[in-house]
């Protein structure tokens, strides 16, 4: 749990405070005005019209978060937020770590042990699907931009949406809603790949699969882990172990064995893979001759790797 939390935590980026954050009411009006323009055929043919709508949705997404930003300390926020005071403060635990929760009208701020703002939870969004709508608008801008004059703006906007989906996935993970986390990471993955200059977010692919696996949605997790293997994003062999576990749970024993042996060849010291193989041989009643053959190959490749000899002794034990 702590290992994946560390992997997810690197997704958090330090954000600077924006003194021009719109109020939720103003943000809603801006969206309505921009949406009205897209109903005009002449205006709808211009990429700038759709960019304006996309940016309005992004402002609406950010508006309920107030002036706080991830990484800010309480002293900075006290100065910036002025008379906007929390209605209550309480100590809570998220993912096994202590936080101080401050409740405001439209959001909750969670401060870590260093008194830095670590999480922002919106409780009264302007639009529930603001990020989805923003993405749609950015892609529509690209569609009508025959000359490609706004490609740079669209690309930056789409990738910003993707980063926000990642943040939402992180928040959902921290709050224990793993199903929602998987959905957000999947959206982040798809958004990154839909940009004019597409990028494959391998961490989003892995996290979408990992969180689906955690809630035992194996049918959903399987394709994400298989794609991780295709992209050679294997987390020191953990992807092989997770995929094998999925095959085992889905009663695909031979597939589980095959992926474990493939993973063992690449990562002979991975304890999850070793345990998976040992369990397979115990449950199947087969002799683990192939396992020792794989170890012999590994020792030939790394004859001075003492860990491989330890692993061999561990398997005999």
pLDDT of residue 310: 87
Q: In which residue are the tokens 């990484």 written?
A: 71
Q: Find out whether 38 and 53 touch, Cβ atoms under 8 Å.
A: yes
pLDDT of residue 20: 57
pLDDT of residue 281: 83
pLDDT of residue 297: 79
pLDDT of residue 299: 83
Rounded to 10°, the helix 271-284/306-316 angle is: 30
- How many CA atoms, within 13 angstroms, populate the side-chain half-sphere of residue 245? 20
Q: How many CB atoms lie within 10 A of CB 83?
A: 4
Measured in whole angstroms, the distance separating CA 62 from the mean position of its chain's CA atoms is 19
Residues 250-268, buried b or exposed e (16+ Cβ, 10 A)?
eeeeeebbebbbbbbeebb
**E strands present in 3-136:** 88-94, 97-103, 107-111, 117-122
The per-type count for the chain, helices as H runs and strands as E runs, is: 15, 4
Pairing of strands 117-122, 97-103: unpaired
Per-residue CA distances from 141 to 15, 51, 150, 154, 193 (Å) = 26, 6, 8, 7, 16
From first to last of its 317 residues, the chain has per-residue pLDDT tens of 444 544 444 444 334 434 457 899 999 999 999 999 999 999 999 999 999 999 999 999 999 999 999 999 988 898 888 888 999 999 999 999 999 999 999 999 999 999 999 999 999 999 999 999 999 999 999 999 999 999 999 999 999 999 999 999 999 999 999 999 999 999 999 999 999 999 999 999 999 999 999 999 999 999 999 999 999 999 999 999 999 999 999 999 999 999 999 999 899 888 889 888 888 887 887 877 877 887 887 788 788 888 888 888 888 88
Strand order in the sheet with 88-94: 88-94, 97-103, 107-111, 117-122
pLDDT of residue 230: 97
pLDDT of residue 49: 98
The closest of 55, 102, 95, 60 to 81, measured between CA atoms, is: 102
The closest of 104, 77, 94, 100 to 19, measured between CA atoms, is: 77
């Amino acid at each position: 749990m702590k290992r994946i939390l560390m992997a997810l935590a690197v997704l958090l980026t330090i954000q600077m405070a924006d003194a021009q954050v719109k109020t939720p009411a103003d943000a809603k009006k801006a969206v309505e005005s921009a949406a009205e323009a897209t109903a005009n055929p002449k205006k709808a043919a211009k990429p700038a019209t759709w960019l304006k709508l996309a940016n309005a949705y992004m402002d609406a997404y950010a508006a309920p978060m107030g002036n706080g930003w991830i990484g800010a300390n309480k002293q900075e926020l006290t100065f910036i937020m002025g008379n906007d005071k929390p209605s209550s403060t309480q100590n809570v635990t998220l993912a096994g770590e202590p936080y101080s929760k401050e409740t405001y009208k439209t959001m909750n701020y969670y401060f870590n042990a260093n008194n830095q703002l670590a999480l922002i939870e919106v409780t009264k969004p302007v639009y529930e699907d603001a990020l989805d709508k923003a993405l749609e608008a950015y892609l529509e801008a690209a569609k009508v931009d025959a000359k490609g004059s706004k490609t740079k703006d669209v690309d930056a906007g789409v990738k910003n949406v993707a980063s926000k989906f990642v943040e939402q996935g992180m928040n959902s993970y921290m709050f224990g809603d793993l199903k929602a986390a998987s959905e957000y990471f999947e959206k982040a993955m798809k958004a990154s790949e839909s940009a004019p200059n597409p990028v494959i977010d391998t961490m989003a692919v892995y996290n979408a699969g990992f969180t689906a696996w955690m809630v035992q949605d194996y049918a959903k997790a399987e394709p994400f882990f298989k794609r991780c293997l295709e992209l050679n994003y294997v987390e020191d062999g953990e992807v092989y172990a997770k995929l094998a576990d999925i095959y085992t749970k889905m009663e695909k024993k031979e597939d589980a064995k095959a992926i474990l042996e493939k993973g063992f060849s690449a990562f002979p010291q991975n304890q999850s893979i070793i345990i998976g193989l040992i369990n397979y041989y115990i449950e199947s009643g087969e002799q683990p001759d192939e396992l020792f053959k794989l170890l012999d190959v590994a020792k030939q490749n790394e004859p001075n790797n003492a860990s491989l000899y330890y692993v061999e002794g561990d398997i005999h034990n």
